[in-house]
C-alpha cells in the first residue's frame, strides 16, 4: 500500500506513521519490537492488519463553531485548546464518520450550538460512536454541557430515521472543562443503552463506558493466537489476569475445566459477569474484583495452583507483587499480551528467570500509529 496522504496529518498528530507506506510502517514496528525483545528469543514477523484503514470501531468527535459560526467536528487538540476539523478519518470505520457529519447537519437544522469553552455557552461537547464490527449494531452517546438537551426527543428521532443502523442512543452530561469525558450517568434516549458484538464466537455487551477492543478484527486474531499458544487442556484451571470485561476468559472457557478472572475496575467486572450470562457459561467461569498482585499473593499463600495464566495488563505492565506471586504458584504455561513492548521487556526480565520464551508474536493492532501489540508465550523451566 502506498503512503496515505492525510490532509490533516501534521495538525492532528494522531497517526504518527502516516508519512510511511504500510509496508514501511510494519518494518518500523518490527525493528522496534526486535530491538526491545530480541534478547528473549526470535521475534516472529508482525501480523499485519488487512486492510489497514477503517479499523477503529470506537470513535469520538469534538464539536465547535469556527470564526464564521459554522459547526465543525473533529479531533481535540489539548495543546491549542481547539480542534482539527475532520469529515473522514482513514482509521475510523466510515459509518462512524458518516454519523458524526450527520449530527453536525442536524444540529444546524435544530439550531443546537456546540459548547464554547470561552463563553461556557452552547450545548453539545462531543459524541461517542461505538460499532459492533460483526453484528453491525451501533451505539451513539451524545455528551452535553448541561442536562437541558433542547428538543432531545425530536433530535433523536431524526437521527435514528437518518441512520437506521443506530440501535441505541444515550445522553451524558459533562460539566467539567474536559472535552472527552463521559458523565457518570447515561440517559437512554433510544433503544436499550447497549449493543452486542461477537468475537471468537462469543457475544459481548458494549455500553458507553465498557472496555472493548477498538480494532475487533485484529483482536480476534490476537485472542485466537494467544489461546492456542497457551496449549490449554480440559483439565486446566486458567487464570485470566487483568481480565477487563472478561473477553479472554470467556473465549477460553470452552477449552478448560475452570477460569478465574481478576480485575481491579469494578465496572469492568460487572460487564464480565453480564457477558458470562449472555453466553450462558457462568458454571466454570468466575470474575473477581481486586488487585491482581494481591489476589495472586493470597492464592499462593493458600496453596492454590493455576495450570496456565493469560495476562493482559495495561500499558504500565504487571506489578511487582503479581510477578513475585507467579514465581510461587509456578503455572506451567504463561501467555503475556502486551500493548507496550517497553514494559513487556521489563517484565520479561523477571519472568524468564523461571520461564522459557517459546514465541514472540507482534500484531499491528493500530496501523498508522507507533503502537504495537505483542503476544509472548512461555513454558516453565525444568527444575
63 compared with 9, residue with greater pLDDT: 63
CA angle 201, 281, 242 (to 5 degrees): 80
Answer yes or no: 339 catalytic. Answer: yes
**pLDDT band (50, 70, 90) for residue 11:** confident
Residue carrying C-alpha cell 452486542: 196
Check if the beta carbon of residue 275 is closer than 8 Å to that of residue 259: no
Of 200, 339, 359, 374, which residue is the catalytic one?
Answer: 339
Tell whether the model's pLDDT for residue 69 goes beyond 60: yes
Which of these, 7, 97, 86, 87, lies nearest to 59 by C-alpha position? 97
Looking at residue 47, the DSSP 8-state letter turns out to be B
pLDDT at 178: 72
pLDDT band per the 50, 70, 90 thresholds, residue 8: confident
Residue 51: phi and psi, rounded to 5, are -75, 160
pLDDT at 332 over 70: yes
- What pLDDT, in 10s, does the model give residues 24-35? 999 999 999 999
Express each pLDDT in 162-211 by its tens digit: 999 999 999 999 888 776 778 778 899 999 999 999 999 999 999 998 88
Whether omega before 170 lies within 30 degrees of 0, making that bond cis, reads: no
Average pLDDT over residues 15-21: 90
What domains, with CATH codes, occur in the chain? 9-51+215-380 (3.40.50.150), 58-206 (2.40.50.1070)
List Cβ neighbours of 265 (8 Å cut-off, separation of 6 or more).
Answer: 211, 244
Sheet holding 82-85: strands in order across?
Answer: 82-85, 71-77, 58-65, 124-131, 138-144, 166-173, 186-190
Name the percent of the chain lying above pLDDT 90: 82
When pLDDT is averaged across residues 322-338 and rounded to a whole number, the result is 95
Q: What is the pLDDT of residue 83?
A: 86
Q: What is the pLDDT of residues 124-159, one digit of tens each?
A: 999 999 999 999 999 999 999 999 998 999 999 999
All three cell numbers of 80, joined, read 491549542
Burial class of residue 359, CB neighbours in 10 A (0-12, 13-18, 19+):
middle
> So what's the pLDDT on residue 9?
80
pLDDT digits (tens, 9 = 90+) for 72-122: 999 877 555 678 899 999 999 999 999 999 999 999 999 999 998 888 899
Q: What is the pLDDT, as a whole number, of residue 80? A: 58
Amino acid at each position: 500500500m502506498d503512503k496515505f496522504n492525510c490532509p490533516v496529518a501534521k495538525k492532528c498528530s494522531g497517526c504518527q506513521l502516516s508519512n510511511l507506506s504500510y509496508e514501511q510502517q510494519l518494518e518500523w514496528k518490527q525493528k522496534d519490537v526486535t530491538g526491545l525483545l530480541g534478547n528473549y528469543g526470535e521475534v516472529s514477523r508482525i501480523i499485519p492488519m488487512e486492510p489497514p484503514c477503517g479499523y477503529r470501531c470506537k470513535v469520538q468527535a469534538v464539536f465547535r463553531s469556527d470564526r464564521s459560526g459554522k459547526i465543525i467536528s473533529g479531533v481535540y487538540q489539548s495543546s491549542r485548546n481547539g480542534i482539527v476539523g475532520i469529515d473522514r478519518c482513514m482509521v475510523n470505520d466510515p459509518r462512524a464518520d458518516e454519523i458524526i457529519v450527520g449530527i453536525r447537519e442536524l444540529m444546524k437544522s435544530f439550531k443546537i450550538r456546540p459548547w464554547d469553552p470561552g463563553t461556557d455557552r452552547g450545548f453539545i461537547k462531543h459524541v461517542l460512536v461505538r460499532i459492533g464490527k460483526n453484528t453491525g449494531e451501533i451505539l451513539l452517546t451524545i455528551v452535553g454541557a448541561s442536562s437541558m438537551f433542547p428538543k432531545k426527543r425530536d433530535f433523536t428521532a431524526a437521527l435514528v430515521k437518518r441512520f437506521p443502523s443506530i440501535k441505541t442512543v444515550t445522553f451524558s452530561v459533562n460539566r467539567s472543562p474536559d472535552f472527552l469525558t463521559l458523565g457518570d450517568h447515561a440517559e437512554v434516549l433510544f433503544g436499550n443503552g447497549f449493543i452486542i458484538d461477537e468475537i471468537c464466537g462469543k457475544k459481548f455487551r458494549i455500553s458507553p463506558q465498557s472496555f472493548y477492543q477498538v480494532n475487533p478484527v485484529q483482536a480476534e486474531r490476537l485472542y485466537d493466537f494467544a489461546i492456542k499458544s497457551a496449549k490449554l487442556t480440559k483439565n486446566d484451571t486458567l487464570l485470566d489476569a487483568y481480565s477487563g470485561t472478561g473477553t479472554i476468559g470467556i473465549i477460553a472457557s470452552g477449552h478448560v475445566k475452570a477460569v478465574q478472572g481478576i480485575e481491579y475496575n469494578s465496572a469492568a467486572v460487572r460487564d464480565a459477569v453480564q457477558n458470562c450470562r449472555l453466553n450462558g457459561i457462568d458454571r466454570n467461569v468466575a470474575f473477581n474484583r481486586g488487585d491482581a498482585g494481591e489476589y495472586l499473593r493470597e492464592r499462593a499463600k493458600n496453596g492454590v495452583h493455576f495450570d496456565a495464566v493469560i495476562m493482559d495488563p495495561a500499558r504500565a505492565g504487571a506489578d511487582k507483587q503479581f510477578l513475585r506471586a507467579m514465581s510461587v504458584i509456578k503455572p506451567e504455561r504463561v501467555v503475556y499480551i502486551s500493548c507496550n513492548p517497553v514494559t513487556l521487556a521489563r517484565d520479561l526480565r523477571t519472568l524468564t528467570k523461571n520461564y522459557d520464551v517459546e514465541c514472540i508474536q507482534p500484531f499491528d493492532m493500530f496501523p498508522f500509529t507507533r503502537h504495537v501489540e505483542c503476544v509472548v508465550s512461555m513454558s516453565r523451566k525444568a527444575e
